[in-house]
Amino acid sequence: MSYKSLCSEFYDLTKPTPTPKEWHFYNNLVKQYAGPCLEAMCGSGRLLLPLLEQGYEVDGVDNATNMLKLCKTKCSVRFPKLNLFEQNLENLELPYKYKLIFISIGSFQHIKKIDEAVISLRKLHDHLSPNGTLVIETFAKENLIPDNPKSPLAFKWRCNSKKGYEIINKSIAQFIEPNLILNQMQYEKWENGHLQKTEKNAWHIRAYEEKEMKQMLSEAGFNSITIAHKSFEYNPHAIIYFANQQSKYI
């Protein structure tokens, strides 16, 4: 999955900061660990920046070049020594180990194939300190496309930049497999009534049953897997998995 330039900018404009319930959860989560922590699939720094502002030791990793550019721009002045890595989780090779690794707002579900997801979980497992913890937030299936899953659903969103231009997102989403959604998007940038730029983007979102996700975590070497159900503003039916490291894969 890739976030192109308009897609990244639209995301950053519509989700610039964590919402109150989300912030309460992740702030308290990171506070429990003396550090270091890693936000995997950190995007444009929506959570990473406010956590750094609290004085926490948090690194970031993502494979989306345009999202990381936005993150670097926001963090570079105040946090010039921030460790920010551009890598896929399936090939993750970082020089550090972490007491906590977390993935927020369903980003993990953008990994299309189940075998790639398991490999990614193993890589995350290998980057945890002994007895470290992985926390993954996912969307419940019914919250991904709440209406008829057999028919494509069209969505349209608008957002305005402080610089005076508007970005429009036209999306068509549908289940192409029982638990796999294809979301096709067209972005338009308008300024003073004139179309300045268009961009097409597409990504997949995989829904996981709780039993399936727990099995994947177990296969990746985690134990003491627990589940919490939370309600956040962006994710009213969030399912959050807490998994502790084991020394060897099962």
How is 39-104 classified by DSSP, letter by letter?
A: EET-TTSTTHHHHHHTT--EEEEES-HHHHHHHHHHHTTT-TT--EEE--GGG---S--EEEEEE-
Both tokens of residue 151? Answer: 């028919």
pLDDT digits (tens, 9 = 90+) for 5-22: 999 999 999 999 999 999
The separation between the first and the last C-alpha atoms of the chain, rounded to the nearest angstrom, is 29
pLDDT digits (tens, 9 = 90+) for 195-210: 999 999 999 999 999 9
**Residue predicted with more confidence, 245 or 166:** 166
Q: Looking at residue 249, what is its pLDDT? A: 38
pLDDT digits (tens, 9 = 90+) for 33-87: 878 999 999 999 999 999 999 999 999 999 999 999 999 999 888 898 899 999 9
pLDDT digits (tens, 9 = 90+) for 77-93: 889 889 999 999 999 99
- DSSP conformation class of 231: -
CA distances from 201 to 45, 52, 163 (A): 21, 30, 23
Q: What is the pTM of this model?
A: 0.93
Segment 144-161 shows an average pLDDT of 80
Q: Looking at residue 149, what is its pLDDT? A: 60
**Positions of E strands within the chain:** 37-40, 58-62, 84-86, 98-103, 128-139, 153-160, 166-177, 180-191, 194-206, 222-230, 238-245
